[in-house]
Amino acid sequence: MQRWTQREIVVVAAIGVVFGVVYLAWVQAWLFARPFIGPLSLDIFFGLWCIASVVAAYVVRKPFAAFFAEMVAAVAEVATGNPAGLILLITGAVQGAGAELPFALTRWKRYDTAVLVASGASAAIFSFVYTWIRFNYGALSPGLLVVMLTIRIASGILLAGLLGRYVARALHRTGTLDGLAIDADRRIAA
């Protein structure tokens, strides 16, 4: 396993920082939408809060990139004023670990669409278990729980897995990622 370069460390941290601010804006959007959408709003909005993991892992393709990016995003959110405060560090760790798992299962060798989608879905499942404990989901009806879990996984797949891949590829086309692992795709394609 190759050691992380300093550039990769700063690149992943920067992805985390930028998305930390995006997450904060997304929290405001979610708050605005909550009264209109009702109980399932958290599950619908959930996916975007894991996108940093997917983008970072796809760009540098190193072990723990997904986890590191999500942790940095959480720190950035705490520092810039997320209402949840320090508990976000735990939230970030849970979601980051969830996003990391599928990459770890491929021994950090595969970064195709299937694995990215799995990463978003896995983050959703980890987060569901976590919110179950935190918000006492045991009191809810089983039918509602199934709907919630399904929507949350779909959101993870769409807003983290697929959107993350799209953003990373658009970023790659600007030329600022030259020399990082994401270049491997282009070399194969060429």
Partner 1 sequence: MTPRDPLARLAVAFGAFVVVTLAPRPATSAVVFALLLALLLGPACVPLRRILRGLTPFAFFALTSAWIYAVAPDPTYGAIGGTGWDAALLVTVRTLCVGLISLGYVLTTPAAGLARALVHRAGMPRRIVCGTLAAVQFLPGLAEELRMARLVARAALPDQDRGGRIIVAIRRWAAGLGPTIIVTLLAGAMRRADTAAIALELRGVAGPGQPTPWRVARFQRDDAAFAVLSGLVLAAVAILTWR
Partner 2 sequence: MPPDRALAGRDLTVRFAGAARAALDRIDVDLAAGSVLGVLGPSGSGKSTLIAALLGVIPELVPATAGGTVAWGDGAFAPPSLAAGRAAAAVVQQDPDGALVALAVADEIAFGLESDGLPAAEIDARVAAALASGPAAGLLPDAETLALSGGWRQRLAWAAALALRRPVLLLDEPFAHLDPQAASVASDAIRTARAAGTATLLVEHRADLVAGLADQLLVLDAAGRPLLRGPAAQVLAEAAERRGACGLRLPAAVLVAAALRRAGLLPEDAHPADAAALIAALGPRCQDPAVAAVTARALDQQPRAMATPGPVRVALGDATVRRGGTTILSGVDLTVCDGTILGIAGSNGAGKTTLGLLLAGGLRPSAGQRCAPPGPAPLVVPQNPALAFASGSLREEARRRGVDWAAAATRISAAGLPADPDRNPLRFSQGERRRLAVALAAAGGASRLILLDEPQAGLDGPSLAALTADLLALRRDGHAVVVVAHDLDWLASLADDLAILAAGRIALAGPVAEVVGRILDGTAPVPVPPGLALAAALGVVPLKDAP
Nearer to partner 2, 7 or 134 (CB): 7
Whether 95 contacts 126, CB under 8 Å: yes
Please choose which of partner 1, partner 2, none residue 66 contacts, taking the beta carbon within 5 to 8 angstroms, the exact cut-off set by kind: none
Burial of 135 (0-12, 13-18, 19+ CB in 10 A): exposed
Stretch that binds partner 2, among 5-13, 85-93, 103-111, 133-141 (CB under 8 A): 5-13
Taking residues 6 to 25 in sequence order and writing x for each that binds partner 2 by CB under 8 A, - otherwise, the string is xx------------------
Whether 171 contacts 60, CB under 8 Å: no
Give, as ranges, the residues between 90 and 149 that touch partner 2 (CB under 8 A).
Answer: none
d(CA 116, CA 52): 12
CB count within 10 Å of CB 18 equals: 15
Please choose which of partner 2, partner 1, none residue 48 contacts, taking the beta carbon within 5 to 8 angstroms, the exact cut-off set by kind: none
- Report the nearest approach of partner 1 to the CB of residue 110 (Å): 24
